[in-house]
Amino acid sequence: MEKRYDVLVLGGGLAGYYSSITLARGGKSVALIEKESLGGTALRWGALPVKKILDSFKKGDEKFLSTWDRDLEVLDNRIKNNLINEGIDIYFGEGEFIDSQSYNVGNTILEGDYIIIATGTESASIREIPIDGNRIITHKEAIDLSVIPKTMIILGGNVEGVEFAALYAELGVSVTIVEKEDSLLLGNDEDLVFPIENYLKNKGVNIIKGVGAEKAWTEKERVKVILEDGRTIEGDKALVTLLRKPNIPRGVERLNIIVKEDKIVVDENLATNESHVFAIGDINGIMGMGHIAIYQGIQVADYILHNTPVDIKYEELPRAIFTLPEMAGVGKQEWELTLPYKVGYSYFKDTWRGWAKDIEEGFVKVIIDQEEKILGIWMVGENVSEYVSLLSILIHNKVMVKDIKSNLIIHPSLTEAILEAVLNA
């Protein structure tokens, strides 16, 4: 059987979901093909479930892990119904390209004027550390453990590793983080990382920095890890967060596109060498973040619908790390700057709203250049990810200190800490 559509979208994660819906609302006929489950890493095993678990801890509810399978059914139905309600046809199964405009899934050949590849990435084993899904696991298994381990080794002090360390430390698991670099959350200023690292240590997390893991294997229901300095550590589970590999669709070699080891190469409009074939989200290797996948999906859809060039200012996008406390912000950090700058801090507890709410932790950091332009706004504290989403507009518009001072911020509110930080710079 053959069916023709305006657009074929491969992958039902955030990138594929938002591009499909935007295209359908623009009047295009859309087929979405997903080989496993809708939602992708971000919604099923990444930021959303981690945040949901940590939120449950704040409420004193630690039963979340036992209910995630049930929640996934609800999530699946919600995503599927949203797509169907927009008139999008969904096909499940791992298909393959026949040519640059045809894709075979099951017994159906789908043809499309445009094709969007949004197949994402997945965790990968590395040298001498084979993932078995039982003792040596990935985030997929870590979010859905039926029995909470007593001890866990987390290989990698990156965002994923630190978020899971916070999660399992809250559950009373004895956690060890192994990070090859000299600091956790590499690529962030020390003053932003310090409260998170301090929290983990206070929860009993053992942090090994400056030495990597060389080998891991299972022995008698335990995982043994040999470090580069010769030490051996043991745990009930080892969570590997070190490497991801792209999910390259089968048959892609039949297309005239460039595929490298870690990505599909795209131009400024996220198109491949085949001008009607696009690659969005993690698969293009630009930035592995959920909100970037969303914006790429929306903008590629607009490009197809209206020929509007893709325009995403990646350096201005907000970022967040869902730990306890959270870190979030926009713009530059100090480690990136070579020209003179000033820094201002304000602690949430010192704001009037912070005092009223009995807040004890967290702060805002504002980075300003010599001409009084705002270069970066960063925060550490509870739920700070909720405050920063639209602050990237300030960076994009090159807002000055005088602009912050001349605009009104609701009083009393925690966002007054931004004004206080500017005044303290």
Q: Which residue has the tokens 């197809």?
A: 304
pLDDT in the model for residue 3: 96
Backbone torsion region of residue 410, taken as left when φ is above 0, otherwise alpha when ψ lies between -120 and 50, otherwise beta: beta
What would the mean pLDDT of 22-37 be, rounded to a whole number? 96
Confidence of residue 64 (pLDDT cuts 50, 70, 90): low
pLDDT in the model for residue 66: 59
High-pLDDT (> 90) share of the chain, %: 78
- Residue-wise burial string across 401-424, b where 16 or more C-beta atoms lie within 10 A, e elsewhere: beebeeeeeeeeebbbbbbbbbeb
Confidence of residue 58 (pLDDT cuts 50, 70, 90): low
- Asked if 368 and 344 touch (Cβ cutoff 8 Å), the reply is yes
Residue 60 has pLDDT above 70, yes or no: no
The encoded tokens of residue 71 equal 């929640």
Neighbours of 230 (CB within 10 A): 8
CATH code for the domain defined by 316-424: 3.30.390.30
Helix (H) or strand (E) holding 342: strand 341-347
**Among residues 189, 159, 158, 196, which one has the least CA distance to residue 365?**
189
Confidence of residue 1 (pLDDT cuts 50, 70, 90): confident
Distance CA 324, CA 55 (A): 10
Distance CA 324, CA 199 (A): 7
Instruction: Name the residue ranges covered by the structural domains of the chain.
Output: 2-121+244-312, 136-240, 316-424
pLDDT in the model for residue 250: 96
Neighbours of 327 (CB within 10 A): 25
- Asked if 365 and 420 touch (Cβ cutoff 8 Å), the reply is no
pLDDT in the model for residue 143: 82
In Å, what is the CA distance from 173 to each residue of 138, 140, 153? 17, 18, 10
Instruction: Check residues 359 and 55 and name the one with the higher pLDDT.
Output: 359
The CATH superfamily assigned to 2-121+244-312 is FAD/NAD(P)-binding domain (3.50.50.60)
What would the mean pLDDT of 228-247 be, rounded to a whole number? 94
When mean pLDDT is compared across 36-45, 168-177, 220-229, 234-243, the lowest value belongs to 36-45
Confidence of residue 59 (pLDDT cuts 50, 70, 90): low
- Asked if 266 and 272 touch (Cβ cutoff 8 Å), the reply is yes
pLDDT in the model for residue 61: 59
pLDDT in the model for residue 50: 77
Strand-pair category, 151-155 with 237-240: parallel
Distance CA 358, CA 352 (A): 10
In Å, what is the CA distance from 259 to each residue of 98, 133, 272, 283? 17, 28, 10, 10
Q: What are phi and psi of 123, to 5 degrees?
A: -65, 145
Confidence of residue 45 (pLDDT cuts 50, 70, 90): confident
Global pTM value: 0.91
pLDDT, tens digit (0-9, with 9 covering 90-100), for 196-232: 999 999 999 999 999 999 999 999 899 999 999 999 9
Q: Is 7 exposed, middle or buried (0-12, 13-18, 19+ CB in 10 A)?
A: buried
pLDDT, tens digit (0-9, with 9 covering 90-100), for 129-142: 999 989 999 988 88
Distance CA 124, CA 139 (A): 11
- The CA-to-CA distance between both ends of the chain, in Å, stands at 67
pLDDT, tens digit (0-9, with 9 covering 90-100), for 117-170: 999 998 888 889 999 989 999 988 888 777 889 999 999 999 999 999 999 999
Q: Note whether 2-121+244-312 and 316-424 share their fold.
A: no
Average pLDDT, the chain: 92
Tell whether the torsion through CA atoms of 391, 395, 397 and 399 is positive or negative: positive
Residue 269 has pLDDT above 80, yes or no: yes
Neighbours of 353 (CB within 10 A): 16
High-pLDDT (> 70) share of the chain, %: 97
Residue 7 has pLDDT above 60, yes or no: yes
The CATH superfamily assigned to 136-240 is FAD/NAD(P)-binding domain (3.50.50.60)
pLDDT, tens digit (0-9, with 9 covering 90-100), for 300-353: 999 999 999 999 988 888 999 999 899 999 999 999 999 999 999 999 999 999
- Asked if 52 and 64 touch (Cβ cutoff 8 Å), the reply is yes
pLDDT in the model for residue 122: 87
